[in-house]
Chains A and B, each alone.
Chain A
Amino acid sequence: MAEFMDLEAQDGVRMAWNVLPGTKQEANNCVVPVSAIYTPIKPFPTIPVLPYAPLRCRTCRSILNPFSIVDFAAKIWICPFCFQRNHFPPHYASITDDNLPAELFPQYTTIEYESPGDKSSSVPPVFMFVVDTCIIEEEMSFLRSALSQAIDLLPDNSLVGLITFGSLVHVHELGFGHIPKSYVFKGSKDVSKDQLLEQLNFFLKKPKPSAGVIAGVRDGLSSETIARFLLPASDCEFALNSVLEELQKDPWPVPPDQRATRCTGTALSIAATLLGACVPGSGARIMAFVGGPSTEGPAAIVSKNLSEPIRSHKDLDKDSAPNYHKAVKFYDALSKQLVHQGHVLDLFACALDQVGVAELKVAVEKTGGLVVLAESFGHSVFKDSLRRVFHSGDSDLGLSSNGIFEINCSKDIKVQGIIGPCASLEKKGPLCSDTVVGQGSTSAWKMCGLDKATSLCLIFEIVKKDIPDATAQSTSNQFYFQFLTYYQHNSGQMRLRVTTLSRRWVAGPGSIQDLIAGFDQEAAVVVMARLVSFKMEIEAEFDPIRWLDKALIHVCSRFGDFQKDSPSSFSLSPRFSIFPQFIFNLRRSQFVQVFNNSPDETAYFRMILNRENVTNSIVMIQPSLISYSFHSGPEPALLDVAAIAADRILLLDSYFTVVIFHGATIAQWRKAGYHHQPEHQAFAQLLQAPRDDADAIIKERFPVPRLVICDQHGSQARFLLAKLNPSATYNSDARVPGGDIIFTDDVSFEVFLDHLQRLAVQ
């Protein structure tokens, strides 16, 4: 496993198969698709940033890289993708074997270019706050203070705008000096771009352009006009704070049997249009703070009548959520608009009830926005996450914008698509597979917002029919991939990161061991998780458990070691050994077992899954469990109910939740206050250790996880129990030492394995 981590540390890439099946047939037999999890702007301490423009192949436009074959004498390089011979331009004249440009250094398979000319045109980051006011006064005050803290943290040069909404949408003209001023739009009505521009008086001083896209300074909008709504943070801090301070709860009366009128969709649409008009193409984020379900306008997710419940997974399954498709369609259109403009939608949803994350998902995900789901604006999950967004320093998110992601690869490989926070740019070409997964049918994607953790899952398809002859195979048994990421670095400059990969492919009867050797089971399960989530959303009547089980059985039959029909003879190579366990936990995870969650939560979990790297994703699928006791130092524990013991503290990290679980005895001691007594220092330390570890986790993670501290047999203990393997349930015979059982009918891992072995060997 370590070698895969090393590869990741070099290029930010994890591939399920690091030795590729060489033919289409073989690839199909591998069950887990040829795929890569790529973190485009993963920070590398040593990465070189070249201050000049990259050298491209004449035909395929791929960029000069360490895998190119260079003829120093002739000053020629051969593109590994298309085999085109390219002459070096004059300024490479001095190139020799021992005088290489950085991009040809073998260790610099990942490298960045930064064109110096771009600095002047750099546009400061833009933040458009879209704030829900249909929330109770208490929430309002939490939100107010969170926002004003956030504003303090804004970079001084960043442009800020504010939109508040409830029944109506208020677009605040922060640049108006006399009194607080806002434009008010009806929530039930979708406003077109032209109408909006007109209604916001954008053409006062100039005749309206007769045709064409009106956008930004370039297209005739005066910067003065723009400055009415988007102001440098340093200039509008006062105005912004005074508006926030006086921000009132939406004043329209809400009958007791009704939900508040909330027009989230319209507000977001207006925000998008406004940004599109003012700062098209430059990095801008719409940060939406939503405190309840949208009930008004085109994107309403539920009627105002409280007697109608908000849609559940069941409703979605039965297609009995009347507003769902309409709302999704609306946000889909919105996402296209945002992608076109290069803007990001971030969603901070804080409510006990659902707010419509499921509908909003498409817009957030395609624009690469951040999403945070919490119960309240006063909850640390929200507060700390928001602070993290603007925080600079070690743990900053590295928010970047305006990314374009492109790939090149060898001609026998096609791309089915990407599952992750990006949007297709619909650049069709020979690279595109007919089969589409996620954002497909293209070789270029827009990533309006990306940060240093954003990870894409690329699904490839091997198209080579069969193997020509052994000799040919030996000469060119490498597949090449080149990932190009253009993005606006948070310093404001445009950068291009190039990662070029080479992987050997194998084919034929003897190849299976090679394949096994190159199998990255963590990456594989993450790919499977993204795939199954995607399929659950896209395919009707899709049975995820069955699909996963079939896949697992196929994998085991193909790569396992066994004698036919002898389950006991079954064994797996270490490369595959934990794969069944991952799948077992994936089957039980929130990504597959959606009925324990609301559609909003599911959407939220999946969005996070789709943007996180392999390590984090694994935690989501199979939480980590650490045990603390007097007997030993912190040590990983089996994710099993058996891990519970009265004299232990358990730290469960399920990514979204971090649970500190005090065994019964520990809890008693703690309640008795022993840790305050000097003679029980050790106990205090024992109590503190998991806290410190939890804090470390929390500090690194975005969104900030929820911290649950609970005691054995306490009600909060469910957060732990739900994640544990139910090896001891209410109907199992043997009582385990920890004395805890789980009330479930779910099968335990043992039973699962038994069945697997039986089926695999058939």
Chain B
Amino acid sequence: MAAPVPPGAPRQRPPPQSNYNPNFQQNPNALFDNFQNLNINRPVSMPNSTPRPTPFAQTPPFPSTTPQPPMSRPGPPPPGVVPRSMGTQQPTLPPNVAQRPPAPPAGQSFPFGGRPPPGSFPSSMGSGGPVGVPPSGVPLAGALPSSGSLAGPFAPPPSARPFASSSTLSSGMNVPPSSAQDGLTSNGPLSYAASGAAPGGPRFPPPGSAMQTQTPPVGHPSMVASVRSPPQSPSMRFPLGSAGISSSMVPPMQQAMPFSVPPQSAPPFSSAPPISAAPPQGVPPPQGSPFGPQTWQSRQVGPSHPIPGSVQPPRMFGMPPPLPTQSMTTIPPAMGQTGAPVAASSKIDPQQIPRPIPSSMVVMYDTREGNQSNTPPPATSDYIVRDTGNCSPRYMRCTISQIPCTNDLLATSGMQLALLVQPLALPHPSEEAIQVVDFGESGPVRCSRCKAYINPFMRFIDQGRRFICNLCGFTDETPRDYHCNLGPDGRRRDADERPELCRGTVEFIATKEYMVRDPMPAVYFFLIDVSMNAIQTGATAAACGAISQVIADLPEGPRTMVGIATFDCTIHFYNLKRALQQPLMLIVPDIEDVYTPLESDVIVPLSECRQHLEMLLESIPSMFLNNRTAESAFGAAVKASFLAMKSTGGKLLVFQSVLPSVGIGALSAREAEGRSNISAGEKESHKLLQPADKTLKAMAMEFAEYQVCVDVFLTTQTYVDIASISVIPRITGGQVYYYYPFSALPDPAKLYNDLRWNITRPQGFEAVMRVRCSQGIQVQDYYGNFCKRIPTDIDLPAIDCNKAIMVTLKHDDKLQDGSECAFQCALLYTTVYGQRRIRVTTLSLPCTSNLSNLYRSADLDTQFTCFMKQAANEIPSTPLVNVREQMMNLCVNALVSYRKFCATVSSSGQLILPEALKLLPLYTLALIKSAGLRNDGRIDDRSFWITYVSSVSIPLAVPFVYPRMVAIHDLDSKVEGGSPIPPFLPLSSEHVSDEGIYLLENGEDALIYIGSSVDSNILRQLLGINSVEEIPTQFVLQQFDNPLSKKLNEVINEIRSQRCSYLRLKLCKKGDQSGMLFFSYLVEDKIPTGGQSYVEFLINIHRQIQVKMS
């Protein structure tokens, strides 16, 4: 998912909240928001681009959003309120109002009409689709045409235009409203705001179905009308809002075209409309239908105005579609599955189905406003945080930004309750640095019962003489020297001067009490494979090269120590003592019972061994040039290195190229065994994803105990059994880097950059972490890369800014509605410069007993990341089929309750998605198709996937399964401010043309796909080759002296910095392995081997929801 999307998304959310708070205009939207039906509506953020929201005009959502929130703050968000929101909305709406009303109605109307629509859409599809769609490239055109017809209907909206965009979102009639809201809230900008808005809307609905009804009535009529007529136009909507779908549905009906049969099935999607707010999701699963057409932009033209918007939508491709046409809903034969696809009853316009909305806007985000916690922007968006009490969401965020009061409520919602903690996350450069607080010898003030650290939510009473712990409720005496009187507002007078009383994240200087020994020095030990394969593939040279370059980046100072060792079937240490003329090689040949050959001098202060180290690194590749040892004693080497580091702890960086075949922890080529025994292989294949034996795990536990963190760089061309090897980095807080198949041409650069980042990124050593929760909630478990010896704490020999830890939570009591529930993560660690610190991150969230609030505050990215991590956890122990099913169920469960309890739609034929989670199906689909859950992947790829996911942070998790694709053949034709990265394309082969060159990246790999008939001029400019035939298999990005190439470099560099990863660049061309690889990332496509297309998947989801509901 393109990061860009976020912007839109965030907005949506914020709005919802605001909604709660009756105050804002946005609120109204909120109503709708809630609804977000799957409808395709996901008004694309596109809208954003188009400054839909005239009203708000504000640019990008954020700003606007922010403001809004405040608004909402004021009125603490009584959940119940929501309904009112309606009322409020209206107020807000005022401007829009007029429009809205209509919209809602529309939505409702839909229901009725909606169902039938399925057909309609199709029809629209049929008619418009073909036309409009194809033109994806030419979205507009296509759109227009189709829209054309639709347009008519919507036409009215046009006026609404401003909103229009939003309306588009709402896509459907009903939706529109919601969307509109979104738009509004978000800022009007259509951006997906619309969709967001929609959600908002929904909420209302949920609360009171009445609401919906109400709303609907208003807009409906018109809507309906529009809808029907619009079939086409609806299509627009669909994409955006549920309405769309419904509408689409309708049309079909009317048309009676193909769908006749399908209708029912189709309906599901269409259903959305009910909630006026909820954008219809008509998600008829068009099979392979021609989605092609849509371009991103087209998709959602952010309908700023809900209802009206819906109308407007038309504009598909066109950028900000002025026209209402958006509805491209080409809903191909949705349900058609059974019957003739085409016939597809439900038509879903693939262009209108929910997709991430990119945004290049930077959002300003205050963590709390008005003493209320503020719903955070999506993790994948670009935002700047101001810590006003709660921690930055970068450090800790919850899957739901409001905490359900009871376990029952949580269970009903079908959502997960978990925190994702990334204690050392990289801040945005413009954010205020974390303040360091020194309490002197007494150490930080803590609750004497639960040991929680002082934080802004501890309440001082009794003239400041005592304070109540916000986590356990215990009343403590204020230490005398920390006493301060309270001001009139009940806060300490010094609260604003003391970071620990006004910031969600602070660092305390640790006192002796927090040390069992002096803080450890920064120790870096490099362990390099020099076996025959490593030497011959150039892996050793690459590793040595990378290390010698990176030495300059190691922390300065006398406390930085380094050591180096190499290994094949023996282990070679080097005595780097300065007094020696040259390093001394010491070989440990006993790989069954290893030891370190020297007590000291193997690891020496960097300042004393630079020369030796350089000399050594230079000569290692030549020293082993004729090495004929094919064996590798990885386990033994790691163990021996550990022994050398045991006294201090530190980072062990291992460069490994082949399957560890001898010595301690030797592994066998299980993969081959698995393959040769296929019948067993199928059933037991997941066993290959489990560590082969316990030796490595036991070793890892020991390493962790002595604070040794192991990072493994796998520069291999064969199976290396990552499943077994990865145990070590995972338990020791390390990381696995995987270069497969390693190539000496392009990979050394990545290796160097990875190593450099590994060493230079913010990090800490010998860390211990614990999360504390307010009474009523407790930590269930931690997931991530660490070692756990006691239930409450996790030990992290090392932790860095890229590592995230998932903390699952459970209720052990009821929470009080209206109170706040706090989470505090305390990380005790040593900096690379040897200071002992405690980073305390506190997050206080409101509790709610309202289901729709939960949906409104659901954090899609976070939830999805939890899904991924759970999947990663399951894969090694469960057959893949079951895991996929499980993921489906997680997705369906969250949606079912929403459909059941929050959506007012009466028709079961519509697929309605909560606005906040409207992308969940898409992401789930992407997850199911990801390397980790696919059947056909290499075992190592899957293991790597698991390992990667286990510690991945949210902003990187989403793109990892839902990559971002951009066209790069026309980079120079677009001149835009802001981000150099061009807009994203949906991951569908329809958006890949033979004349184009595309870049697809997931944070690890970047594939450059070169169409078969690309202009050779472009080829020459970008890649320095003359024709497609000359495409090299190995690729190193070069910068040529032409604007296109410069742009490309700029784009790639931007991506690299976003992802903190150098990316493995690979060229792909049609018709060979590389092409297949590229297309395997296009998750919206139907995979010949059985993977569903996005539309099919939506239909599938819808069907399952229906089943569950009945």
List chain A residues, Cβ under 8 A from B580: 246
Which chain A residues lie closer than 8 Å to B573 at the CB level?
184
CA distance A186 to B595 in the complex (A): 7
Question: In the complex, are the beta carbons of A179 and B593 less than 8 A apart?
Answer: no
CB-based contact A178/B599 at 8 Å: no
Which stretch of B324-332, B416-424, B622-630 is in the interface?
B622-630
Consensus secondary structure, chain B interface = loop
| Complex contact B581–A242 (CB within 8 A) | yes
Q: Does B600 contact A (CB under 8 A)?
A: yes
A189 to B599, CA, bound (A): 18
> Does A471 lie at the interface of the complex (its beta carbon under 8 Å from any beta carbon of B)?
no
B619 CB–A CB distance under 8 Å = yes
The answer for the CA separation of A195 and B573 in the assembled complex, in Å, is 20
> A201 within 8 Å of B by Cβ?
yes
Chain A contacts of B619 at CB under 8 A? 178-179
Q: How far is the CA of A651 from the CA of B552 in the complex (A)?
A: 70
A559-B344 Cα distance, complex, nearest whole Å: 133
- For A549-568 the 0/1 string (1 means CB < 8 A from B) is 00000000000000000000
Whole-angstrom distance from the CB of B632 to the nearest CB of chain A? 14
> Is B582 part of the contact surface with A, judged by Cβ < 8 Å?
yes
Q: A168-B595, A201-B569, A204-B628 are in contact. Are A186 and B590 (CB under 8 A)?
A: yes
Whether A204 touches B629, Cβ cut-off 8 Å, given contacts A191-B590, A251-B600, is: yes
Contacts of B584 in A (CB 8 A): 179-182, 246
A48 to B1102, CA, bound (A): 112
CB-CB < 8 A to B581: which residues of A? 242, 246
Knowing A180-B585, A246-B581 touch, does A251 contact B601 (C-beta < 8 A)?
yes
Contacts A178-B619, A246-B581 given; does A184 touch B599 at CB 8 Å: no
A212 at the interface (CB under 8 A from B): no
B600→A181 contact, CB < 8 A: no
The winner among B570, B597, B623 for most chain A CB atoms within 10 A is B597
B554-585 vs A, Cβ < 8 Å mask (1 yes, 0 no): 00000000000000011011000101111111
CA distance A168 to B644 in the complex (A): 14
Chain B residues lying within 8 Å of A256, measured Cβ to Cβ, are none
Q: Is B57 at the interface (CB under 8 A from chain A)? A: no
Q: Give residues of chain A (180-231) contacting chain B, Cβ–Cβ below 8 Å.
A: 180-186, 189, 191, 195, 198-201, 204-205
**Does B38 reach chain A (CB closer than 8 Å)?**
no
Residue of chain A at shortest CB distance from B623? A178
A391 to B587, CA, bound (A): 35
Q: Are A201 and B629 in contact (CB under 8 A)?
A: yes
Q: Which residue of A lies closest to B571 (CB)?
A: A184
Does B586 reach chain A (CB closer than 8 Å)? yes
Query: For residue B598, which residue of chain A has the nearest CB?
Result: A251
Smallest CB gap from A183: residue in B: B587
Q: How far is the CA of A191 from the CA of B590 in the complex (A)?
A: 9
The residue in B572, B585, B622 that gathers the most chain A C-beta atoms within 10 A of its C-beta is B585
Question: A252 on the interface (CB 8 Å rule)?
Answer: yes
- Pairwise interchain contact A252-B599, C-beta atoms closer than 8 A: yes
Indicate whether A106 reaches chain B with its CB closer than 8 angstroms: no
Q: Which of B572, B590, B598, B601 contacts A199 (CB 8 A)?
A: B590
Cα distance A198–B662 in the bound complex, in angstroms:
12
The answer to whether A205 and B601 touch across the interface, beta carbons within 8 angstroms, is no
Chain B residues within 8 Å of A180, by CB = 582, 584-585
Does B589 interact with chain A (Cβ within 8 Å)? Answer: yes
Residue A170 interfacial (CB < 8 Å): yes
Q: How far is the CA of A170 from the CA of B587 in the complex (A)?
A: 8
- Given the interface pairs A201-B629, A246-B581, A251-B600, the reply to whether A181 lies near B595 with Cβ below 8 Å is no
Residues of chain B within 8 A of A191, CB atoms compared:
590
Taking the closest CB of chain A, its distance from the CB of B535, in whole angstroms, is: 14
CB distance from B576 to the nearest CB of A (A): 11
**Cβ contacts A242-280/B at 8 Å (1 or 0 each):** 100010100111000000000000000000000000000
What A residues does B585 contact at CB under 8 A? 176, 179-182
> Is the pair A179, B599 in contact by a Cβ cutoff of 8 Å?
no
Interface residues of A in 146-199 (CB under 8 A from B): 168, 170, 173, 176, 178-186, 189, 191, 195, 198-199
Q: Which residues of A contact B577 (CB under 8 A)?
A: 248
Measured between beta carbons, the chain B residues less than 8 angstroms from A176 are 585
Which residues of B, 194-223, contact A by the 8 Å Cβ criterion?
none
Q: How far is the CA of A665 from the CA of B572 in the complex (A)?
A: 67
Q: Is the CB of A184 within 8 A of B623?
A: no
Q: A204-B629, A252-B599 are in contact. Are A195 and B582 (CB under 8 A)?
A: no
Choose from A185, A242, A246, A251 the contact partner of B589 (Cβ within 8 Å).
A185
**Contact: A185 with B590, CB < 8 Å?**
yes
How far, in angstroms, from A179 to B597 measured CA to CA in the complex? Answer: 17
A189–B570 CA distance with the chains assembled, in angstroms: 17
Q: How far is the CA of A242 from the CA of B582 in the complex (A)?
A: 10
- Closest Cβ–Cβ distance, residue A761 to chain B (whole Å): 70
The answer on a CB contact under 8 Å between B599 and A251 is yes
Q: For residue B587, which residues in chain A have a CB less than 8 angstroms away from its CB?
A: 173, 181-184
Please give me the residue from chain B that is nearest to A168 by CB atom: B597
B528 CB, nearest partner CB in chain A, Å: 15
Residue pair A178, B590 in contact (C-beta under 8 Å): no
- The distance from the CB of A194 to the nearest CB of chain B, in whole angstroms, is 13
Cα–Cα, bound, A129→B570 (Å): 24
Minimum CB–CB distance from A346 to chain B (whole Å) comes to: 26
* CA of A182 to CA of B572, assembled, Å: 9
Contact A184 B582 (CB under 8 A): no
| Residues in A whose Cβ lies below 8 Å from that of B590 | 185-186, 189, 191, 195, 199
C-alpha spacing A184/B577, complex, angstroms: 17
Say whether B588 faces chain A, with CB atoms less than 8 Å apart. yes
A366 to chain B, nearest CB (A): 29
Q: Verify B593–A205 contact, CB threshold 8 A.
A: no
- Residue in A170, A184, A198 whose Cβ sees the most chain B Cβ within 10 Å: A184
Q: A179 contacts B583, CB within 8 Å?
A: yes
B591 CB, min distance to chain A CBs, angstroms: 8
Residues of B within 8 A of A168 (CB): 595, 597
Pick from B588, B591, B629: contact of A184, CB under 8 Å: B588
Question: Which positions 975-1008 of chain B face chain A at CB distance < 8 Å?
Answer: none
Please name all residues of chain B whose beta carbon is closer than 8 Å to the beta carbon of A248 when the two chains form the complex: 577
Name B602's closest neighbour in chain A (CB-CB).
Answer: A251
* Residues in A neighbouring B586, C-beta threshold 8 A: 170, 181-184
- Measured in the bound complex, the distance between the Cα atoms of B629 and A211 in whole Å is 22
Residues of A contacting B599 with CB < 8 Å?
251-253
**A199 close to B597 (CB less than 8 A):** no
Q: Which of B598, B601, B623, B629 contacts A179 (CB 8 A)?
A: B623
CA distance A179 to B564 in the complex (A): 15
Shortest distance from the beta carbon of B589 to any chain A beta carbon, whole Å: 3
On whether the beta carbons of B570 and A199 are closer than 8 Å, the reply is yes
Task: Give the contacts of B745-772 with A (CB-CB under 8 A).
Answer: none
Q: Is the CB of A178 within 8 A of B622?
A: yes
User: Given the complex, which residues of A lie within 8 Å of B570, measured CB to CB?
Assistant: 183, 199, 201
**Cα separation A81 to B28 with both chains bound (whole Å):** 128
Complex CA gap A252/B597 in Å reads: 10
| Complexed CA–CA distance, A204 and B591 (Å) | 16
Nearest CB on B from A186, distance (A):
5
CA distance A173 to B598 in the complex (A): 17
Closest residue of B by beta carbon distance from A176: B585
Closest to B582 in A: A179
Q: How far is the CB of B561 from chain A (nearest CB, A)?
A: 16
Least Cβ–Cβ distance between B630 and chain A, in angstroms: 10
14 further A-B pairs in the complex, CB-CB below 8 A; given A185-B589, A189-B590, A199-B591: A170-B586, A178-B622, A179-B583, A180-B584, A181-B572, A181-B584, A184-B573, A185-B590, A186-B593, A189-B593, A195-B590, A201-B629, A246-B580, A248-B577
Which A residues fall within an 8 A CB radius of B? Answer: 168, 170, 173, 176, 178-186, 189, 191, 195, 198-201, 204-205, 242, 246, 248, 251-253
A to B CB contacts below 8 Å, 15 in the list = A170-B597, A173-B587, A178-B619, A178-B623, A179-B582, A180-B584, A181-B572, A183-B570, A184-B573, A184-B597, A186-B595, A198-B589, A199-B590, A199-B591, A201-B569
Instruction: Give 9 closest A-B pairs by Cβ, nearest first.
Output: A199-B589, A184-B597, A181-B585, A183-B587, A178-B623, A252-B599, A180-B584, A184-B586, A251-B599
